[in-house]
Structure formats: C-alpha cells, structure tokens
C-alpha cells in the first residue's frame, strides 16, 4: 500500500552518481539529439558540464551519427578510418584517473585502431586506448621514460566485429588495472611504480582525441557510444556504478552475469515504475520486464488509481508517441499493442522499426493505456492532428504539423505549438543564405535594392545597379512576409567573380528557394563559367512551361526537367537536391517531382563566374516574379535535415507542404508555470482559419492568477525587435513586426503584423481571458523589445529610452516618464508623478496612504487601480485641455460597479456644458464591464470602499472587474 516509486534496475546515472572521483569529461552519443542517421558531427558536447566539447571543423574528418549501431539499438558515433574529433582539456588530470569506453570495430585484423589518445604533450602524458592487432585491447600508459609496463593489455583476448565492448582502465601512482565488462580474469594488471614522475592523462590545454592517435594514425574504423574520464581514485563501488550504467544502457551483460525479466507489483496507491538510462528491458521477450498490476491493484482496471510509467530518463531525446499505431521509421518511437491478455509497450530507439526496449503490462487492455499514463520528459508529435496529454512532471511537448491538441498536465511544461526553432547557423555546409525578412542584410534606395547580403557571412553581398534593381516589399511575400520582386525585363542581383567551390561541391548541392513566378521564361538563379557546359541554373519555369534544373554540362548529363502544374502565379517552396551518380530530387512544396534526364555530370568548381539571383545575364533570361529566401548547401542533406528546412520554410511563409494542411493547435498548460512557444518553424494564422489557442493562460485554477507564471515565448518567431502596441493598439502602415492584443468576446486575440501593412499575419487566442490582464512581462520577446528598470528606496527620476519601458518606482516620491511607445509605469510606494508620453500607456499608481498624479498624454492610455491599494490618485487621461486618445480608468477587483460593496460612488467632476458622466453605454468583454461615456473627455470621481479616491480628467471610459 502507498504511492511507491519502483526502479526496475538503477536510478538515472548522472555526473553526481559517484562520490570517490570527479567525472571530468563525458561524451555520450545520447547527447546528439536531433540528428538523423549519417549526419556529420561538428560538435560532440561534453555531458560532464565542464564545456570541454569535442569538435571537428574539417568536413572530410568529421565522424558521423548512427542511429542504430549497438546491439541494444542505441546510437553511436562512427569513425570511417579518417575521422577524429578533439576536446581541449580545461584542467590537468594526473596521478589517479579512470577511463571507461563503449566501442566496437568494423575490422578485426591488422590493427591497431585508436579509440582515445592524449599522447603528444611529453613523456609525462601518454595514454592511448586501442584495438590492437586483431587479438587484444591495449593501452599505452606513460612515455618512453615513464612506462608502468608495456604489457598494459587486455590479453589473451580476441575482439571481433560482431561485439560491443565495455572497457575500463584505472591508473594510479602504483600501477593500473583493466577490465572488459567488469572482468579482470586473464588480463594484465601491473603494480610496478612509474619509472619517473606521476602518471598524467592530460594537462590543462592538452588535446584529448577520439578516433585516431594525436599523430593522426592508427585510425579507427568503428563506433563509439560513451567515453567517460574520471579524475581521482575510484572506489570499487563507484567503478561498479559506472560499469553498470554502461552495461544496462548498451545491453552488454557484465561478466558472469545476465539480464533477466524484472517483475514489478505496485500494490494499492499511485505507484511510479521507473526505467532510467541505467536500466535494461529487452525489446523482445527474452528479458522483458513486467508490471503485474498497472492501475489494477484492486483486481480490475481503475484509471483513477494513478499509476505512472516513468521513462523520462531512459533517453535524452524526444519521444514520438504512436499510441496503438505501427512503427513508422521515426527515432524514439513509442507504441503499445495487445498481446493476448497483456499489453506490450515497445520503444524503437533508432527508427529501424524494431523494438529495442519493451515492458509487459499483465492482464491489461491496450486501449486503456494513454500517453498521460507516462512521464516522458520530451515528446514530439506527428504530421497528423495529434492529441498529446502529458502526465505529472516538467514536460517538453512539440506538436508538429496539423491541428494538435496538447495538454501539459501538472508541472512547469514547455509546449511548442509546432516545431522548435531551426538554427540555420548550425547546418554544416551552408554556403549561401539570403532572406528578404532580414532587413539588416538589405541596402535600399526607396524600395529599390542596392545590395542583399549573404546572412551567413561566407560571401559578400549581391548588388543591383541603376534601373536593373529589383524592388523590396516588407509585406507582399507569402504569409505577409517580405519579398524582392524582379520585373522580368532587366532586374538582377549579382555577386561577382564567385569561385565555384565556395558555394557548390563538384557533385553535391542542396538548394532551397521561396519563389512566386508571374510569367514564364525565367531564370531564378544562375552560376555559369562556360555557357551551357558548366553551370548551375534553375529555369522555374521556362516559356514552354517546363522546369529545368542544370548542374554541370547541360548536354552531357547535367540537366533534368519536368512540367509542373499550378506553378505560375503561386508561391512555391522549391527544393533542388543533387548527389551526382546516386540521387537527385526536385521538389515543389515538399512533393518530389517526376523528372526526365539525369545528373551524371559534375561541376567544375575550380572555375569562377558571377552568381546571379533573378536572371541569367549570359542568356538574358529574367525572372518575372518574387523571391523571399534562398539557401544553398554544398552537400547532401539527411532526410531529417531536408524535412526540417522544408517545414521551416513552410511554416514561415504559410505555404502548406503537399498532402498536409495547417490546423489550429489547442494548447493547455495545466497547473504550473508553463511556457507556450512559437518559433521560426511554427505557424498560426493571422485570421481565425488556423489560429492557435491557449485554453488556460494563467487560469488553470479556473480564475486568473498572474502568479501562476505562464509565459508566451515568441523569441524565435522573428529575428528582430517587436514594436509593441499593447492593449487595444492600432496597426499602422509601414511599421514592421508590430504587436497588439484586443478583447474579442470572452477571449483575447494577440496579433502580429510582420510587414507593416496593418493586417495581422500571425495571431493566437487566449480563451476566456481578459485582455486587460495581459502584460509585456507575460511574453519572452528575445531581442530586446522592452526594458525593465527599477527605482531605489528614495525619490527617483526615471525616464524611458527608445524602446518599450517598464519603469517601476520603489520607495520615495518618484517622477517617472515614458517615451513615445506603449509604456508601463508603476509608482509603488510614495507620492508619485507618472507621465506616459506618446503611445498607449498603462499607468499603475502606488499602494498605501499616498497621493499620486498620472498623466496619460497622447495615445490611448489607461490608469489601472486594484481595489485594496488604498491610494488616492488624480488622473489626466489626455494631454491638456480636451484630452487626446481614448483614455480610461480600469478598476480591478472592484466588485459590481457603482453602488456595490467595493465601489461606493461615481460622481460628476467639474460642472459645465457637456459634463455628464451618468450618460454612458455599458458593454462587457470577458470578465470586464465597460462604461463608455456618451461624450468624450469627462471628469469625475470614484470612491472605493478601501478608502481611496480616483479623481479623473479627460477620460473616455471606466472599466471594472
């Protein structure tokens, strides 16, 4: 009985799992999340937390990621016999140290094949770990003057290509011991003293290399999973802890032991069954763990019993939950299925559609199992309309394509409406990226483009001249995005004298283009050193309606063609992919086209030519249409990378990929401080057609509570500063990335206009939410869109600067002034003066028995008073006599209006013609009631039951909740 936590094997292994030494470096293939099979590795992060990351910048020497390589189905880092990767040590490790490695080799003869090397600093630093000559595993320890012994071998031992090896060396000042899968039987152990000095693994600033020796020989053709380096003398217990983690994680049974099926019974109560990164349950029935009473301890199924399956620590990456569906070649795919009277829960790590881990729920009906019965940690949806319900804990949930319904559950969850942001700078081989939405890359004269810079900085800027310059528009692109339009007559942008190898490979390229063509006979981009015989070109489309893609010699195997439908006049996501001799693809909006011809020729990249956008100047073919973004990579992409870029462009420009459609995502955070994220790879329509919804923003308790701490993260949605208009703002022509929110019935609509055409291009709905309760600090904008400044304990003078200001007084009599934006000014304690300045300002006076004065000045300003503040305030809504803007007073927690328990009276102010605050129109929005005066700029007084009085002047409405 009771709410038990049952670990099938061990608790999760972390850097803090040992006590007798310090893990200085820890490289695990599990940390390489988000990579697809075959991806080149530029950086292998150090999971020990010391930021001693391993890197390789040379393309030909980069190891690659393999999704399914070890017998357990776990991923690894593959070295092809010419690859290596280096870490630079931040501190010295010597005297006592340990090295643990998971490795396998593809070659079992003629070695050696180096796994780890630190040799090269001096005779004091000399440690190499390798597969040696097809018969044994060997370590060189010490230099020529500092050997412990030359027989530091795990020998007799015959390694082969079909096994995974867990190797451990423990070195001390008096010798060493070594083991494979925990066994030292028959292997050399030395207890001699060093000939000179102390054993040093590496010194601060030294190189730690994986895949070859420091001298770049004895190259490994094989795979590594984990490499752990420990500083200090490990206890026997801690050696066992590390060995057991690696054994369970990679399914390598320790010597003399075997894996078995654990049988787990929770009993009554809400029990949690845990499988961590240091646990094992086989993908088949051979050593499959069993839960005997999942949500059924009473003898029959009872969902309210509250049992959980916690696999949040089993993998580092995100799960794709298929429910009772079938495996679909996705990494870390989780499913369950009925098997007789039992349910089998299966996980495929690498996406080869074979279960690598599984458990059995005895006497359990599969359809009773749901995703919220699991603690997953990270979770990715599919391209369908997914229903994703997480359990207790801090989950990260990513919706993907389609209209998803996502519920975070209890905990501080992070919910991505679609995808996380795509970091284009992390794409190896990206040689060219131009983006019309990056205003910092554009130089304009009026609307004409003088230059368009390459955003990744590797090349210079494309330039235009005279009457041949195309025109820039901030909002005429698809989805309200920016674009550059070419007139089809003579417009062109040119990057002169480009060496082919700086952009392309001889036989590989991946090109992405966002384009709309208005008329045929066009060239979208061009690089041509010799007419027709050595060029890269995209005629999309030519005068005959045919799409031609050229790579090499047009007449010698360098051209493919296709006649697409519905091309002219529509925005297209064009993907031109070439891997000469093996594969090529032309895709429109993600759909691969059936092409005629072949790419059997190669490109001579030693030649130099102009690279042009919008025309082929050699053959005088000009684009009549628009281009918003273009990327060129000099390599073949993995399938996952190709999908990521296509989805990034699809979401960004609102062009649905073929066979898919955008939908309205419905997001529910649940209790806890949840973060709702829209990135540069997400979509929510500016109108209601596919507008995403948050159902419980700061309201999971049923009532609004700002202390709940929910956040809307749009820091990755655009790459520049937002212009914040705030509550009831009005879009203005010519202002880019302007954002506002308004009440719409009982909901709040948050909208962004990207291009400044006064039309919403992106929006979300906060269901059953009062717009007046939304504040700037509820958002994460990323690039500084507002500034928070706090006063001291005395009387401060605080002035806004050029962006949105949130200025907060503290103690003392403060004078606080905003600028020309929509500012938020807080008086707090003291007799304060608040000056909003231009813009739609939010003025919040102080608390306590004080007298504040607030001036809205120009713009639509609002004074916000909370019942119980007990503060007298005089408010001037407009700027001087007559007032400017639609200015108001907002009373929070004020009760039922004039004459109610909290709000005693509403009385006229100065007498005179037109002064009649008793004449108003009543309206409601959400939980707020608004009294709009029939004549503008009224004056009067409000007396609240907390003892405070608000005297207002030049005010147009009063709103209360």
> Across residues 504-532, what is the average pLDDT?
87
Instruction: Write down all domains in the chain, each with its CATH number in brackets.
Output: 1-10+258-374 (2.150.10.10), 22-234 (2.60.120.200), 424-653 (2.60.120.200), 666-780 (2.150.10.10), 786-960 (no CATH)
Query: Mean pLDDT throughout 330-350?
Result: 96
Chain centroid to CA 280: how far? 30
Q: What is the pLDDT of residue 648?
A: 94
Closest CA to 526 of 668, 672, 660, 627: 627
Phi-psi region of 186 (alpha: psi -120 to 50; beta: other; left: phi over 0): left
Distance CA 201, CA 196 (A): 15
Please list, in sequence order, all residues whose beta carbon lies within 8 angstroms of the beta carbon of residue 620, skipping any fewer than 6 positions away. Answer: none
Compute CA distances 58 → 41, 55, 428, whole Å: 10, 9, 10
> Strand runs (DSSP E) across 142-174, as ranges?
153-154, 165-172
The confidence band for 117, taking pLDDT boundaries of 50, 70 and 90, is: very high
Residue 330 CB-density burial (10 A; 0-12 exposed, 13-18 middle, 19+ buried): middle
pLDDT, tens digit, for every residue of 522-559? 788 889 887 778 889 888 888 788 888 888 888 888 88
Whole-number pLDDT of residue 121: 55
**Of 509, 567, 508, 18, residue with least CA distance to 239:** 18
pLDDT digits (tens, 9 = 90+) for 285-312: 999 999 999 999 888 999 899 999 999 9
pLDDT reading at 194 higher than 60: no
Q: pLDDT by residue (tens digit) across 105-115?
A: 998 777 789 99
β partners of residue 185: none
Q: Mean pLDDT, to the nearest integer, of 582-591?
A: 83
Least confident interval from 232-241, 393-402, 763-772 = 393-402
Other beta carbons within 10 Å of 175: 18
* CA distances to 167, 250, 624, 671 from 159, in Å: 12, 17, 64, 54
Average pLDDT over residues 615-634: 89
How far the first Cα of the chain sits from its last, in Å, is 48
Closest CA to 523 of 618, 430, 453: 618
> How far apart (Å, rounded) are the C-alpha atoms in residues 510 and 820?
46
Closest CA to 678 of 664, 659, 660: 664
Cα distance between residue 577 and residue 597, in whole Å: 14
* pLDDT surpasses 60 at 146: no
Phi, psi of 563 (to 5 degrees): -110, 100
Rounded to whole angstroms, how far apart are CA atoms 333 and 311?
13
CB–CB of 623/486 below 8 Å? yes
Q: What digits encode the pLDDT tens for the residues 838-850? A: 878 888 888 776 7
Question: For 639-676, how does the pLDDT look when each residue is reduced to its tens digit (9 = 90+)?
Answer: 778 888 999 999 999 999 998 889 999 999 999 999 99
SS (H, E, C) 187-230: CCCECCCCCCCCCEEECCCCEEEECCCCCCCCCCEEEEEEEEEE
Q: Could you give the maximum distance between any two Cα atoms of the chain, in Å?
A: 108
Cis peptide before 156 (omega within 30 of 0): yes
Rounded to whole angstroms, the Cα distance separating 397 from 781 reads 20
Average of per-residue pLDDT values in the chain: 87
Question: What is the pLDDT at residue 911?
Answer: 47
Contact 586, 573 (CB under 8 A): no
If you average pLDDT over residues 734-745, what whole number do you get? Answer: 92
Looking at 366-375, 583-592, 708-717, 783-792, which range is the least confident one? 783-792
Kindly list the distances between the CA atom of residue 192 and the CA atoms of 145, 200, 236, 874, in Å, as whole numbers in the listed order: 14, 16, 20, 88
* pLDDT band at residue 869 under the 50/70/90 scheme: confident
What does the pLDDT look like over 403-424, one tens digit per residue? Answer: 888 888 888 989 989 988 888 8
Q: Do residues 400 and 382 make contact, with C-beta atoms less than 8 angstroms apart?
A: yes
DSSP state of 40: B
- Say if residue 32's pLDDT is above 70: yes
Highest averaged pLDDT of the listed ranges 556-565, 753-762, 876-885: 753-762
Q: Tell me which of 691 and 897 has the higher pLDDT.
A: 691
More reliable by pLDDT, 548 or 359: 359
Least confident of 306-310, 869-873, 907-911: 907-911
pLDDT for 580: 67
Alpha carbon distance 393, 272 (integer Å): 12
Residue 356 banded pLDDT, cuts 50, 70, 90 = very high
Nearest to 428 by CA among 43, 147, 137: 43
pLDDT of residue 614: 93
| pLDDT value of residue 48 | 96
Greatest mean pLDDT among 184-188, 373-377, 379-383, 928-932 lies in: 373-377
- Residues 6 or more apart whose Cβ sits within 8 Å of residue 434: 441, 452, 453, 454, 455, 462, 613, 629, 630
The residue among 717 and 909 whose pLDDT is bigger is 717
Show the beta-strand stretches assigned E in 841-918.
842-844, 851-855, 862-866, 872-876, 888-892, 903-908
- CA 844/CA 864 separation, integer angstroms: 5
DSSP-derived pairing of the beta strands 938-944 and 949-955: antiparallel
Spatial separation of the C-alpha atoms in residues 734 and 28, rounded to whole Å: 50
The pLDDT value given to residue 120: 66
Task: Say whether pLDDT at 751 is over 50.
Answer: yes
Determine contact, residues 656/663, Cβ cutoff 8 Å.
no
Task: Tell me what pLDDT residue 443 has.
Answer: 93
Of 237, 240, 315, 234, give the one whose Cα is nearest residue 279.
315
Residues 6+ apart with CB under 8 A from 811: 792, 793, 794, 828, 829, 830
Weakest mean pLDDT among 63-72, 99-108, 113-122: 113-122
Looking at residue 560, its pLDDT comes to: 86
Segment 246-262 shows an average pLDDT of 93
Which residue, among 9, 32, 85, has the nearest Cα to 54 in the 3D structure? 85
Query: How buried is 792 (Cβ within 10 angstroms: 0-12 exposed, 13-18 middle, 19+ buried)?
Result: exposed
Q: Is the pLDDT of residue 154 over 70?
A: no
Q: For residue 883, what pLDDT band results from cuts at 50, 70 and 90?
A: low
pLDDT band at 186 (very low <50, low <70, confident <90, very high): very low
3-state secondary structure of 278: coil
pLDDT score of 147: 47
Residue with the bigger pLDDT between 44 and 920: it is: 44
In 3D, which of 521, 545, 646 has the Cα closest to residue 588? 646
* β-strands 308-310, 272-274 pairing: parallel
Q: Write the DSSP symbol of residue 700.
A: T
* Helix locations, 457-547, DSSP H: none
Count Cα atoms within 13 angstroms, Cβ side, for 221: 11
Res 802: pLDDT: 63
Asked whether 451 and 463 are in contact (CB, 8 A), the reply is: yes
For residue 197, what pLDDT is reported? 58
Asked if 278 and 244 touch (Cβ cutoff 8 Å), the reply is yes
Q: What average pLDDT score do residues 623-627 get?
A: 94
pLDDT for res 913: 45
Q: What pLDDT is recorded for position 125?
A: 63
d(CA 743, CA 766): 10
What is the pLDDT, as a whole number, of residue 310?
Answer: 93
> What distance lies between CA 242 and its chain's CA centroid?
31
- What confidence score (pLDDT) does residue 581 get? 57
In angstroms, the CA 861 to CA 851 distance is 20
Better-scored residue on pLDDT, 842 or 359: 359
Q: Which residue has the higher pLDDT, 392 or 469?
A: 469
Distance (Å, whole) CA 384 – CA 381: 8
């Amino acid at each position: 009985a009771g709410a038990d936590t049952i670990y099938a094997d061990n608790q999760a292994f972390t850097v803090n799992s040992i006590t007798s030494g310090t893990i200085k470096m820890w490289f695990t293939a599990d940390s390489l999340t988000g990579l697809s099979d075959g991806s080149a590795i530029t950086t292998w992060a150090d999971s020990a937390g010391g930021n001693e990351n391993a890197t390789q910048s040379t393309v030909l020497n980069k190891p690659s990621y393999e999704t399914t390589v070890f017998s357990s189905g776990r991923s690894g880092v593959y070295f092809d016999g010419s690859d290596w990767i280096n870490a630079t040590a931040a501190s010295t490790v010597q005297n006592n140290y340990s090295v643990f490695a998971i490795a396998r080799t593809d070659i079992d003869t003629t070695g050696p094949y180096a796994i780890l090397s630190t040799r090269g600093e001096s005779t004091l630093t000399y440690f190499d770990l390798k597969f040696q000559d097809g018969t044994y595993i060997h370590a060189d320890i010490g230099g020529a003057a500092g050997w412990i012994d030359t027989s530091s071998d795990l020998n007799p031992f015959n390694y082969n290509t079909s096994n995974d090896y867990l190797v451990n060396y423990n070195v001390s000042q008096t010798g060493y011991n070594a083991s494979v899968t925990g066994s030292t039987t028959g292997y050399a152990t030395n207890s001699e003293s060093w000939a000179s000095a102390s054993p040093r693994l590496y010194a601060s600033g030294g190189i730690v290399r994986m895949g070859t020796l420091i001298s770049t020989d004895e190259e490994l053709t094989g795979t590594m999973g984990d490499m752990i380096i420990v500083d200090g003398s490990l206890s026997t217990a801690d050696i066992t802890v590390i060995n057991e983690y690696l054994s369970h994680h990679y399914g390598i049974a320790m010597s003399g032991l075997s894996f078995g099926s654990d049988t787990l019974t929770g009993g009554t109560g809400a029990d949690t069954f845990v499988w961590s990164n240091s646990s094992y349950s086989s993908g088949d029935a051979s050593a499959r763990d069993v839960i005997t009473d999942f949500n059924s301890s009473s003898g029959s199924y009872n969902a309210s019993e509250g049992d959980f399956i916690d696999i949040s620590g089993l993998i580092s990456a995100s799960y794709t939950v298929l429910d009772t569906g079938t495996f679909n070649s996705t990494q870390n795919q989780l499913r369950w299925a009925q098997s007789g009277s039992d349910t089998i829960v299966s996980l495929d790590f690498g996406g080869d559609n074979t279960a690598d881990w599984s458990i059995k729920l005895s006497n359990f009906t599969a359809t009773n199992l749901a995703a919220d019965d699991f603690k997953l940690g990270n979770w990715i949806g599919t391209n369908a309309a997914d229903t994703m319900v997480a359990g207790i804990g801090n989950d990260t949930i990513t919706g993907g394509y389609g209209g998803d319904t996502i519920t975070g559950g209890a905990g501080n969850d992070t919910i991505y409406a679609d995808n996380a942001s795509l970091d284009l700078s992390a794409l190896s081989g990206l040689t060219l990226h131009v983006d019309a939405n990056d205003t910092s890359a554009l130089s304009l004269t009026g609307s004409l483009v003088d230059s368009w810079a390459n955003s990744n900085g590797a090349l210079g800027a494309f330039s235009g001249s005279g009457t041949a310059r195309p025109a820039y528009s901030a909002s005429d692109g698809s989805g309200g995005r920016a674009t550059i339009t070419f007139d089809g007559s003579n417009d062109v942008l040119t990057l002169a004298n480009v060496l082919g190898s700086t952009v392309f490979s001889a036989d590989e390229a991946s090109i992405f283009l966002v384009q709309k063509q208005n008329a045929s006979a066009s060239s979208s981009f061009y690089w041509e050193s010799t007419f027709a015989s050595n060029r890269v070109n995209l005629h999309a489309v030519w005068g005959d309606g045919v799409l031609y893609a050229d790579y090499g010699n047009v007449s010698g195997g360098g051209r493919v063609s296709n006649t697409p439908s519905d091309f002219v006049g529509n925005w297209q996501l064009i993907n031109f992919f070439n891997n000469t001799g093996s594969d090529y693809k032309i895709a429109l909006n993600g759909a691969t086209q059936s092409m005629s011809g072949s790419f059997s020729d190669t490109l001579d990249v030693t030649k130099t030519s102009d690279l042009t956008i919008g025309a082929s100047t050699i053959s005088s073919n000009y684009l009549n249409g628009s281009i918003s973004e273009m990327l060129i990579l000099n390599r073949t992409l993995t399938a996952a990378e190709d999908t990521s870029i296509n989805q990034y462009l699809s979401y960004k420009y609102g062009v649905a990929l073929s066979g898919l459609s955008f939908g309205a995502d419905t997001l529910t955070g649940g209790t806890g401080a949840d973060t709702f994220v829209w990135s540069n790879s997400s979509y929510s329509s500016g109108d209601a057609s596919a507008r995403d919804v948050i159902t419980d923003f700061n309201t999971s308790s049923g009532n609004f509570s700002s202390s709940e701490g929910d956040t809307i993260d749009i820091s990755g949605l655009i790459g520049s500063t937002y212009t914040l208009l705030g509550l009831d703002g009005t879009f203005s022509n010519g202002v880019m990335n302007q954002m506002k929110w308004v009440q719409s019935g009982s909901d709040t609509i948050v909208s962004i206009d990207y291009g400044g055409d006064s039309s919403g291009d992106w929006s979300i709905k906060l269901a059953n939410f009062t717009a007046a309760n939304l504040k700037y600090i509820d958002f994460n904008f990323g690039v500084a869109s507002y500034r928070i400044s706090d006063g001291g304990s005395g009387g401060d003078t605080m002035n806004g600067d050029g962006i949105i200001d949130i200025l907060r007084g503290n103690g003392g009599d403060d004078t606080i002034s905003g600028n020309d934006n929509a500012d938020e000014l807080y008086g707090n304690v003291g007799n304060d003066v608040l000056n909003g300045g231009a813009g739609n300002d939010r003025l919040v006076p102080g608390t306590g028995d004080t007298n504040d004065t607030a001036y809205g000045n120009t713009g639509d300003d609002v004074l916000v008073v909370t019942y119980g503040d007990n503060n007298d305030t005089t408010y001037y809504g407009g700027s001087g006599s007559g007032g400017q803007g639609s200015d108001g007073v907002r009373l929070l927690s004020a009760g039922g209006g004039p004459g109610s328990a909290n709000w005693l009276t509403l009385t006229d102010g100065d007498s005179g013609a037109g002064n009649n605050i008793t004449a108003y129109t009543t309206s409601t929005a959400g939980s707020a009631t608004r009294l709009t005066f029939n004549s503008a700029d009224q004056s009067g007084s409000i007396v609240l039951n907390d003892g405070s009085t608000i005297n207002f002047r030049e005010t147009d409405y009063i709103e209360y909740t």
